[in-house]
């Protein structure tokens, strides 16, 4: 299996290089040269299988002969053993045709764990084979960082530097990162927004000398392995609801479009998906783009669902590439234009392709709060604000057939807002230690690419001396 860049200016690479490289050297995102597929019988056979086995089957299609099936199976088993629920991604019924898929039973209580736990195993395996040490630079809008720290802390061949936007993530989110004591982890509190952090990340990846000096890599949702990991629960949940004989809808709370694109991947692999509703908060670039065809950034507002406070959705480039018939020259030009001008128009034909599968919906703050309350009243389920955006989004569209709402964070990750809305304090699940009294370790830094790149260089050097 070979991977090509959406911008067409980098050579095709294998699975190992696509995973360890993160972003393609030309600034594009990797996608498989050809989409692998499952037969209907293969999909039907996922019914009743342990989650880790389905994950190994899906990853097997993308890793090709670069990872032995037995190694893949072992890594998936280990990764998903870290979850606090035996089903890994269980479902709860909340309406006649509506089901919530709980993606938050991993160590950091957010759906990012689903991808990050397996990604850490893959890195360990692939780097160990090459006798190589890498530096992960990661920008987080709240949950990726915690999931990355949980997955990679103590790893001997990977150092992690996490950037988060100062004051724009919850205390619990911050503490999942800053209470790690392992020396291979560094946390930077950046004066700026998540989009600023993401721009600095892109800048760092295009700096060849830095990239070489610290062997830089990324685990943001631009990493194709994360998308693969996220496509797995589309299969397990859809099959539980009658796929492949019945088509299923999904409602996805979205920011960077990674999770939603994973649904597209599952569909390309043969899973019958009718609609994917992309629900955003008031940072509605995706909802606007999918409705009007104009993909235009804007000011980032702080909302109750901070992991989606994004006005530049990295993974949208992958959908643009696919929907436009894989025209790399056009994709490269469009996203260069977006970077400089802040807006692009999606060609009409590509927009029509997108709209066949995706519907964009924006949900305001009042509606989010009201949905947390009504969901509790009507179903007894206490949901977090990100999940509430998706539950609210569901009310804006008419869907036919079974519908899975992706629940991306545990309510206890946003205790203040959930309690304020409902009067009920969400409890941390049993076995998740309170982080409140552990000392925090992080550094405040300007939202400046040069300062941050210098920090990364210094940290990588110091961490090598330690090791």
Residues forming the site for ligand PLP (CB under 6 A): 110-112, 142-143, 221, 253-259, 307-308, 386, 408-409
Among 112, 133, 211, 453, the active-site one is 112
Do strands 294-296 and 343-345 pair parallel, antiparallel, or not at all (unpaired)? antiparallel
CA distance 278 to 141: 18
3-state SS, residue 160: strand
CB of 374 to ligand PLP, least distance (A): 20
For residues 217 and 35, the answer to whether their CB atoms sit within 8 Å is: no
Angle (deg, nearest 10), helices 112-130 and 69-81:
140
CA distance 266 to 89: 16
CB of 410 to ligand PLP, least distance (A): 9
Residue 91 half-sphere exposure toward CB, CA atoms < 13 A: 24
CB of 148 to ligand PLP, least distance (A): 12
CB of 258 to ligand PLP, least distance (A): 3
Q: What is the DSSP letter of 29?
A: B
Q: Which is nearer to ligand PLP, 3 or 316 (CB)?
A: 316
Q: Which is nearer to ligand PLP, 266 or 308 (CB)?
A: 308
Chain-centroid distance, C-alpha 238? 19
Q: Which is nearer to ligand PLP, 21 or 255 (CB)?
A: 255
Cα dihedral value 105, 111, 114, 117, nearest 10: -90
Q: Which is nearer to ligand PLP, 16 or 314 (CB)?
A: 314
Q: What is the DSSP letter of 297?
A: -
CA distance 285 to 294: 9
CA distance 186 to 183: 8
Q: Is 112 among the catalytic positions?
A: yes
CA distance 465 to 68: 33
Strands (E), 333-457: 343-345, 358-362, 403-407, 443-446
Secondary element (H or E) of residue 100: strand 98-102
Q: Which is nearer to ligand PLP, 51 or 111 (CB)?
A: 111
Q: Which is nearer to ligand PLP, 142 or 324 (CB)?
A: 142
Q: Which is nearer to ligand PLP, 67 or 119 (CB)?
A: 119
For residues 438 and 115, the answer to whether their CB atoms sit within 8 Å is: no
CB of 212 to ligand PLP, least distance (A): 29
CB of 263 to ligand PLP, least distance (A): 10
Edge-first strand listing for the sheet containing 134-139: 216-217, 134-139, 158-165, 185-191, 443-446
Question: What do you get for the CA distance between the two ends of the chain, in Å?
Answer: 35
CB of 260 to ligand PLP, least distance (A): 6
Residues marked active site are found at 112
């Amino acid at each position: 299996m070979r991977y090509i860049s959406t911008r067409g200016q980098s050579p095709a690479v294998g699975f190992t290089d696509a995973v360890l490289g993160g972003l393609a050297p030309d600034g594009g995102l990797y996608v498989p040269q050809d989409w692998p597929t499952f037969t209907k019988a293969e999909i039907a056979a996922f019914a009743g299988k342990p989650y880790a086995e389905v994950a190994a089957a899906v990853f097997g299609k993308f890793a090709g002969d670069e990872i032995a099936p037995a190694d893949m199976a072992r890594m998936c088993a280990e990764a998903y053993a870290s979850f606090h629920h035996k089903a890994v991604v269980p479902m709860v019924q909340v309406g006649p045709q509506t089901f919530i898929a709980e993606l938050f039973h991993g160590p950091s209580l957010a759906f990012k764990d689903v991808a990050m736990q397996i990604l850490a195993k893959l890195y360990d395996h692939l780097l160990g084979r090459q006798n190589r040490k890498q530096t992960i630079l990661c920008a987080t809008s709240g949950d990726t960082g915690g999931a990355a720290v949980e997955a990679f802390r103590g790893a001997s061949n990977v150092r992690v530097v996490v950037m988060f936007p100062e004051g724009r993530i919850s205390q619990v989110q911050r503490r999942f990162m800053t209470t790690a004591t392992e020396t291979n982890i560094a946390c930077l509190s950046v004066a700026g927004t998540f989009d600023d952090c993401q721009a600095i990340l892109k800048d760092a990846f295009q700096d060849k000398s830095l990239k070489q000096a610290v062997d830089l890599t990324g685990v943001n949702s631009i990493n194709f392995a994360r998308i693969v990991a996220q496509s797995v629960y589309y299969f397990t949940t859809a099959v539980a609801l009658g796929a492949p004989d019945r088509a299923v809808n999904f409602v996805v709370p979205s920011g960077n479009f990674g999770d939603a694109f994973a649904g597209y991947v599952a569909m390309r692999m043969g899973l019958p998906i009718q609609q994917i509703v992309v629900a955003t908060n008031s940072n509605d670039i995706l909802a606007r783009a999918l409705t009007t065809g104009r993909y235009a950034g804007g000011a980032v507002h702080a909302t109750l669902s901070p992991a989606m406070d994004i006005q530049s959705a990295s993974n949208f480039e992958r959908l643009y590439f696919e929907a436009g018939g894989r025209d790399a020259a056009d994709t490269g030009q469009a996203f260069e234009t977006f970077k400089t001008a802040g807006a692009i128009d999606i060609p009409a034909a590509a927009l029509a392709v997108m709209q066949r599968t995706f519907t964009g919906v924006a949900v305001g703050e009042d509606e989010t709060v009201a949905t947390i309350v009504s969901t509790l009243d009507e179903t007894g389920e206490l949901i977090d604000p990100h999940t509430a955006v998706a539950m609210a989004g569901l009310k804006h569209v008419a869907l036919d057939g079974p519908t899975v709402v992706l629940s991306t964070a545990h309510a206890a990750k946003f205790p203040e807002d959930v309690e304020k809305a409902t009067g009920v304090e969400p409890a941390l699940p049993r076995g998740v230690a309170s982080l409140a009294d552990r000392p925090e370790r992080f550094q405040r830094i300007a939202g400046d690419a040069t300062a941050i790149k210098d920090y990364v260089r210094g940290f990588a050097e110091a961490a090598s001396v330690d090791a």
